[in-house]
Structure 1
Amino acid sequence: MREIRSTEVGKLKNPIIIDVREDDEVRTGKIPGSINIPLSILEFKMYDLDKAKEYIIVCHSGARSILATRFLLNHGYNVINMVGGMLDWKGIVV
């Protein structure tokens, strides 16, 4: 499983970030431009994702994003886990 630090994500140009936190958590703030697909419905929404694109997966602390990353990898998606989740994110939050 590939991993990336939040500081590296902040330096990327136009990354596609999927936030797997629940809606109430995302309302407290999210990375600008990130897409919210809660882990609880990821298996139903994964078909909306393009397997040819690379996605960075994030959650609150990094535990759920590991689960989501493994799940999507097992289904052929190009995904990277953001280590430490939103707790490590130092960038802008909207």
Structure 2
Amino acid sequence: MTSISVQDFNLLRQNEALNILDIRDLQDFEMSHLQNAVSVPATSLLNELNNLDKNATYYVISYSGRRSEIIASFLENHGFHAIHVIGGMRDLKELAA
């Protein structure tokens, strides 16, 4: 599984349009999320697999990075190219502060 540091992810997303899967609960997503991120709560992922493009690269982000690591691995095991964002939204917010 591929991973990216929150610092590198932040630089990349400023220069490119990325496919970002935010796997936090919908309530957390609605309170705060990244521009262009799509809400796909981890609990709903199985229902959303058919809506994902196996030719796309997905950057998977959660609150702390723990769940995104698991979900990125799951997606890769199902034929998707997924990149785990280490540190998640928590570290991204600290980086912006």
**TM-score after normalising by structure 2:** 0.88
Equivalent residue of 1:81, what SS? strand
Give the residue type in structure 1 aligned to 2:59. Answer: I
Unaligned regions of 5+ residues in structure 2, if any? none
SS at match of 1:10: helix
Deviation at 1:67, TM superposition (A): 1.4
Q: TM-score, normalised by structure 1?
A: 0.91
Give the CA deviation at 1:26. 0.9
Residues 19, 34 of structure 1: 8 Å contact kept:
yes
Counterpart CA distance in 1 for 2:48 and 2:39 is: 10
Deviations 1:29-82 (A, max 9, x none): 011110000000101101101100101000000111011111101100000000
AA aligned opposite 1:82 = V
Q: What's the counterpart of residue 40 of structure 1?
A: 43
RMSD (CA atoms): 1.0
Higher share in helix: 2
Aligned to 2:11: 11
Q: Distance in 2 between matches of 1:30 and 1:21?
A: 10
Q: 1:80 aligns with which of 83, 92, 97?
A: 83
Structure 1 residue runs without a partner (length 5+): none
CA distance in structure 1 between the partners assigned to 2:46 and 2:77 by the alignment: 11
